[in-house]
Amino acid sequence: MTHRLAVAAALLFAAATLGAAPARAVSEKDLLPVDQAYQLQVKSVSRERVEFTWTIAPGYYLYKHRFAVQPVDAAFKANPLQLPAGHKHHDEFFGDVETYRDTVTAVQTGATASDATRVQFKVKYQGCADIGVCYPPQTRMVTVAMSGSVADSGEAADDALAALTGNTPPTVGTGEVLPEDQAFHVEAIANSPAELLVRLTPAPGYYLYRDKTHLSLVDGDGVTLGTPRWPAGKPHRDEHFGDVVVYFDQVEIPVPLTRSNTAAQTLHLKVDFQGCLTDGICYPPMSRTLSLSLPAGAGVVGADLAANGEGHSNYLAFLTALALAFFGGLILNLMPCVLPVLSFKALGLAQGGESHAHAKKHALWYTLGVLASFAAIGGAVLALRSAGQALGWGFQLQQPSVVAVLTLLLFAIGLSLSGLWQFGAGLAGTGQSLTEKSGAAGDFFTGVLAVVVASPCTAPFMGSALGYAFTAPVVPALLVFLALGLGLALPFLLIGFVPALATRLPKPGAWMDTLKQWLAYPMYLTAVWLAWVFGKQRGMDALALLLIAAVVLALSLWWIERQRYVAGIGKKLLGWVLLAIAATTLVVALRIPGEASTAAATQGSEAYSAARLAALRAEGKPVFVDMTADWCITCKVNEKAVLHTDAFKQLLADTGTVYLVGDWTNQDAEISAFLDQYKAPGVPLYVVFPAGGGEGRKLPQLLSEKIMRDALTDAASKR
């Protein structure tokens, strides 16, 4: 693989990074507090007219379309909110909008009940700073005296903030706002020499964000925190942060420790968190530092392998997960999403089969690429999980930027196999050393590519192994990921190190050029599938731009190859300009807002929600839950073979089973919580709930008509 493919891939990945990065030029610490940037005052001019006036700091603005005023009390019948014309503004987040600067007054007219002296309003607004940082949507509860007196909501906001510290009573009519130390209790103890236990208790009517809770040690001699084992939490649609997972009730978080010092000592644990009052104010990020007495303990060095405190049984679980991961990786070679890359690698081994040493070098570099990629994915998963993110196998394909770059990359490889451009050798005269270096890089890159395109597939044995890895401490979890990679790379290791197997490879000849061109078509088909996934994630406009980027990419690679041996850089530069245009087009495609993802619309199915599942179970109906994603090849195979057949539809009707489909193509906190509940590392996940109540039954990841018939018939019989 020459430097051309590496540079092209780097440009495309840079474009994806630009397209996916939030517009955030500075830290939020550089911003004014929101109530200083937008000072709100509320005035009751009469019993029929209330004015809401914002004084906006220089360098800040408010969006007209983000204003909303809603009376909470039935005593006030409101007319539509009156807003003045704003300044025309093209916004990178909302497109063509109107904004306000300096000051703006919104007028709410209506009729107040004769016996009402005060009315409570819920006020919503949102704004940004000129430096490119936007505040989340803001909500304020203000109470207005309707006798014509003035109620300053700046004072109301101050009262609410003061209530957080217990200095003054809260605004009349808003309900009591607790000080933060009463709203959120944080405790921690050393549960054992190898584990801490952190307890978070929100007051009734309050909740905490899981992904905004972080644990760290301020000090600790030879003690480090392992990966916290976060409880599942509850999916919640939050007006500030969108779909999140929150804790409404008390939760306990076990935190394993790795110790190189077994002596007793005092630890200081820092807990960062943020929470809100339900349908009320949100507190700013908070922090508590707790002092803990950690007892002495022998045998806790390397506690990562026994952080659950389960000794021998936990060690056996680790060994079992290693074995399952290894065999799962081995079987992964046969899954349809990996076959295009295997075909490509098989051709490379045939071309380089002139010596045993050469085959060993191919195998080692390919294996290194596979292992490095699995280590990177495992590290990313564990790091994000420790921060409270809900992730699963294939999570990277939930990012449209990754899907788009993979589409163009596989398309480029297909073009090379078709002969449009070459990456098999360096520029003329560069010498044998560059050719050898290119070969090693090519083998490593092929290993990386095999792992990336394998992510939509789940092979037998993988589910249990990854379920263990996604909840285990750091060291055993990473070893499970590496075992999975070793299984995937094993066939090529055997070919490289067992001469008898290497000699079975076909000898190089003229047939290889035909095979090379034929192998381009699996690459094209894979690229088409990924483009379809991208279209489902971002919509038809974004898909059209991605296809334009693919055409420009093909033109740039053709031109670069055409000018390979031409002297001078003038004409060669055009190819790189075209490549930059392709990358820019990709950035534009990624900037297009995504369309709302919906569950697969199959006849007889409903979209999954936790509320709908609970309602169906309360009615005593059998329920089949199907967690799927457009990028999940295993899911699509099951749908084609079993779930989208007439026989399955008839089975649903015969058993009275309700079919719920959850679409995890894009990140969805409610579906992630369901996956966590059943310890599933990703999709597919199939669960059948019996008619008469009881625990759900988790089905295998590879379905058959018999499996579904037995499961649904059994569930329906338990009425």
Distances (CA, A) of 242 to 208, 436, 628, 667: 14, 51, 21, 11
The residue out of 492, 511, 530 marking a domain boundary is 511
523 within domain boundaries: no
173 within domain boundaries: no
Contacts of 381 by beta carbon, 8 Å cutoff, 6+ apart: 391, 395, 469, 470
Give pLDDT tens digits for 647-679: 999 999 999 999 999 988 777 777 877 887 787
Distances (CA, A) of 427 to 213, 415, 445, 458, 564: 53, 19, 20, 40, 7
Q: What angle do CA 489, 313, 378 make, to 5 degrees?
A: 35
Count structural domains, the chain: 4
Together in a domain, 127 and 271 = no
- pLDDT score recorded for residue 377: 79
Q: How confident is the model at residue 712 (pLDDT cuts 50, 70, 90)?
A: very high
Together in a domain, 616 and 657 = yes
- pLDDT score recorded for residue 273: 92
Torsion, CA 376, CA 382, CA 388, CA 394, rounded to 10? 60
7 within domain boundaries: no
Give pLDDT tens digits for 101-134: 999 999 998 888 887 778 888 888 988 888 766 7
Q: How confident is the model at residue 341 (pLDDT cuts 50, 70, 90)?
A: low
pLDDT reading at 481 higher than 60: yes
pLDDT reading at 299 higher than 70: no
Together in a domain, 219 and 299 = yes
Asked if residues 560 and 596 have their Cβ atoms less than 8 Å apart, the reply is no
Residue 677 to residue 227: CA distance in whole angstroms: 18
Averaged pLDDT for residues 310-338 = 71
- pLDDT score recorded for residue 258: 79
pLDDT reading at 686 higher than 90: yes
Residue 116, both tokens = 């009402």
Together in a domain, 302 and 331 = no
Together in a domain, 353 and 485 = yes
Together in a domain, 435 and 365 = yes
- pLDDT score recorded for residue 200: 92
Give pLDDT tens digits for 505-546: 666 666 667 777 777 787 788 788 888 888 887 788 888 899
- Ranges assigned E (strand) in 113-264: 118-125, 127-129, 138-145, 150-151, 184-192, 195-202, 206-209, 214-219, 223-225, 234-238, 242-247, 251-259
537 within domain boundaries: no
Together in a domain, 253 and 325 = no
- pLDDT score recorded for residue 464: 60
- Highest mean pLDDT: which of 121-125, 232-236, 690-694? 121-125
Residue with the larger pLDDT of the pair 310 and 644:
644
- pLDDT score recorded for residue 101: 94
382 within domain boundaries: yes
Torsion, CA 331, CA 337, CA 342, CA 344, rounded to 10? 180
Specify the range with the lowest mean pLDDT, choosing from 77-81, 205-209, 297-301, 504-508.
297-301
Give pLDDT tens digits for 424-435: 433 223 233 333
Q: How confident is the model at residue 707 (pLDDT cuts 50, 70, 90)?
A: very high
551 within domain boundaries: no
549 within domain boundaries: no
In three-state form (DSSP H/G/I as H, E/B as E, the rest C), the secondary structure along 419-454 is CCCCCCCCCCCCCHHHHHHHHHHHHHHHHHHHHHHH
Residue 514 to residue 511: CA distance in whole angstroms: 5
- pLDDT score recorded for residue 335: 65
Together in a domain, 296 and 339 = no
- pLDDT score recorded for residue 442: 73
- pLDDT score recorded for residue 429: 30
The region that residue 103 occupies, defined by phi over 0 for left and psi between -120 and 50 for alpha, beta otherwise, is beta
Give pLDDT tens digits for 378-399: 787 777 655 545 455 555 666 7
Residue with the larger pLDDT of the pair 401 and 714:
714
**What is the chain's Cα-based Rg?**
30
- pLDDT score recorded for residue 469: 65
- pLDDT score recorded for residue 348: 60
Give pLDDT tens digits for 139-168: 887 878 775 433 334 444 444 333 333 333
Mean pLDDT value across the chain: 75
Residue with the larger pLDDT of the pair 499 and 577:
577
pLDDT reading at 404 higher than 80: yes
Contacts of 562 by beta carbon, 8 Å cutoff, 6+ apart: none
* CATH code of the domain covering residue 127: 2.60.40.1250
* CATH code of the domain covering residue 613: 3.40.30.10
Residue with the larger pLDDT of the pair 345 and 249:
249
568 within domain boundaries: no
Residue with the larger pLDDT of the pair 176 and 195:
195
Residue with the larger pLDDT of the pair 689 and 468:
689
Range of the domain at 686: 605-716
How many Cβ atoms from other residues are within 10 Å of residue 390's Cβ?
A: 25
The residue out of 511, 545, 563 marking a domain boundary is 511
Together in a domain, 329 and 458 = yes
Residue with the larger pLDDT of the pair 502 and 58:
58
C-beta contacts of 32-36 below 8 A and 24+ residues apart: 32/57, 32/60, 32/129, 34/135, 34/138, 35/154, 35/157, 35/161
Together in a domain, 265 and 138 = no
- pLDDT score recorded for residue 582: 87
The residue out of 109, 134, 165 marking a domain boundary is 165
pLDDT reading at 576 higher than 80: yes
Together in a domain, 251 and 105 = no
Together in a domain, 332 and 444 = yes
Percent of the chain whose pLDDT exceeds 70 = 72
